[in-house]
Amino acid sequence: MIDKIKQPFPPNNSTDLTSLRQWLRQLFHKLAYKEGDFVLSSGQRSSYYINGKQVTLHPQGALAIGRLLLSMLPVDTQAVAGLTLGADPIVTAVSIISALENRPIPALIIRKEPKGHGTMAYIEGPTLAAGAKVVVLEDVVTTGKSAMKAVEHLKNAGYQVEQVIALVDRQQGGAQLYQSVGLKFQAVFNIEDIRQYE
């Protein structure tokens, strides 16, 4: 419930990334983090679950995410991309904030299956020049395999992908997978940041 959030949202024009991060951490803990018996998309069982969409589709959550992730992007980033459905609101938020900051960065959405008609494409969004530098965004990383699908499709399209940025790292192998294939990896939070919020 949105009324669980006690800490006020920083002003909309705030450039105080520390305050935005603290507020977003609260939002993940209060709205997205649940304890119980869950089966994850990786097939693993878990005693907790993080429903990132409770935060990425929250109005102020999306605004905070857009500002924080934009600040983490390399200066030469030419697009942000991610696998549907989890990354859709994230890449959109970053793209909108980038336009407001006069640093316009397009968003790309990667389908799990190719489009069944027309161009039969995996990638939706503006067509970029060959070799364009794209950063892959993800809500919650467990094994890292979801974001790797996006990386593979982007590379097959001729784009350069050197980095994955996630909102939450469950610390269950994703970082190691990215490192093993030469990708840089950053996360706004690790799982203990979310669990231990008071």
**How do residues 157-176 score in pLDDT, each as one tens digit?**
999 999 999 999 999 999 99
Residue where the block lists tokens 């993800």: 138
CB 188 within 8 A of CB 167: yes
Give start and end residues of each alpha helix (H) in the chain. Answer: 17-27, 53-56, 59-72, 88-100, 145-156, 174-180, 191-195
Identify the top-confidence range among 21-25, 104-108, 144-148.
Answer: 104-108
Q: Which domain holds residue 33?
A: 2-195
Q: Provide the pLDDT confidence category of residue 98 given band limits of 50, 70 and 90.
A: very high
Please state the rounded mean pLDDT for residues 141-160.
95
The confidence score (pLDDT) of residue 13 equals 58
d(CA 189, CA 170): 9
- Of 144, 163, 188, 174, nearest in space to 55 by CA: 188
The confidence score (pLDDT) of residue 5 equals 64
Q: Provide the pLDDT confidence category of residue 132 given band limits of 50, 70 and 90.
A: very high
Q: What is the CATH number of the domain that holds 22?
A: 3.40.50.2020
Confidence (pTM): 0.92
Domain count, the chain: 1
Structure tokens belonging to residue 72: 């983490």
- Of 144, 143, 161, nearest in space to 153 by CA: 161
Please state the rounded mean pLDDT for residues 179-189.
98
d(CA 60, CA 145): 29
